[in-house]
Structure 1
């Protein structure tokens, strides 16, 4: 049985964080209570911290842990006590978040079984990155093959920002689907990204990067995933397309950079299958919730192939007590090709 109180990272009025003791959230209908073993950090964590005008919420979205309790109205056999799970919750907006000893989340949406052979520290990174990679490849792009039915025709696809967490998973999923994966990144990460499936790599700072990608694809590039979605990335991608233009999957919205270029914005929070007001207003429908279940199954099935690798981790030494340091490190722009990760048991005063 879970305790009544726990340590968690809480948003303060001055838009900083504090590690403090709070109530363990109560499991509700359709939910599970998870004992968090490891949590991973994402850019959305610091963006929520700086943009949300409602203090008191528990921060953190990505987690891996053990199911402690299954709430009412959870379909029989879907989840069970003791199950190892990983996924994402909408941290920062209320009394549950991944940077804590316990969290509550949907038993259906935004959660999958931990892949065989993956540690909790590895599985903690799957949530936002894994679900977003699914969205960018098969929601935002139409008709692309999946790793469950790969193509023998190497359709070119550009992954702009391959060193991001979303980039690592998008590269792997695209490669397993039989696609020809072109990637922009910093040259210092080229060798690493080749190990994860990148076929051709381009320096994103090269002023001729668009022309080089266009030449490499013979003007045939029509699909791109923009894992950065700022600093003019859309213009760079649009210039790499051929005369017929193409389609860009975005993780941050921007208008189409060119008349013959279409864009599609996806947001990982939508995979949670519930209404929310931050960072945008979103209303979940029954049809959307059915889609969320399909996305979760696809992600779980791809990982079950045993061919996807976790990205490199940077495990900070003091668990939740290191979150403030980790947020500052990420906000300074120093994170590249690694996932900041916290072991909850490393937190001073928390028992394993």
Structure 2
């Protein structure tokens, strides 16, 4: 099959099609040199399907007996092609040079192109109905960071609109809310522990934000706060009912173990985690004794994930209340904090 390629200079180049789009000769390489299309291969230029279809749609590439619709149908035999094409077209229309990359695409800095600049973003394309594998996303983010690139997930919804999310997996910096805590005594009541008022005021500093005041005489610890203080040897429950308390919680809460791992990690890093039930997540997290929490954190057991639609709702909610959205992927005692943030390229 022969291809006839027309550039902005209105000259045509013919090339054979052998499973990849190929444009041979000096005229073909002008597409690469002028606008960053394709990849040189000796004296030829390979155009990948997304590039070829984009050029065809712009009237810069014609293929004998195949118009734009026919080309789109042919390329769409490969799963996910149209989603990738929509992202490719959107980024090209923004005036940026984009090429296939180690994920789906790499995008160059504005005004730069292959051979005369370096790429800024690595992009993975997903559908709104895809299931997000957090371990895989974290691996992509680490790979991008090692290459000094920003990792971006481009999500194409069912109406072909695109949302871009920057993904970061940096370790949380040390917080500034560490207070010395002295050992206290408490009384088990259901799944809560009442701390004696004198001890509650004197030994659980207000800045550490442990518990809530049930009334003027009783400070109530949540289950996770209770477990944390027990594990640190900072709480004694009257009657020695610690094991009974733990067993009951584990039976009632299937998420308890990995939530507890994240809670302990945040506390040990001098952050203050509190329940984020009203936001639909596990923790709202405070730092620097602020009255406004800085992050929402949702604990995820290693090897699991969630639908992209749920991730999207979480990010939008966090943005609306001026918080960062982090997913804490727990693998044994190792915790990977993965931040999703909407961006505009």
Q: TM-score, normalised by structure 2?
A: 0.23
Larger of the two Rg values belongs to structure: 2
Relative to total residues, which structure has the larger strand share, 1 or 2? 2
Q: TM-score, normalised by structure 1?
A: 0.23
Which has the bigger relative contact order, CA under 8 A and spacing at least 6? 1
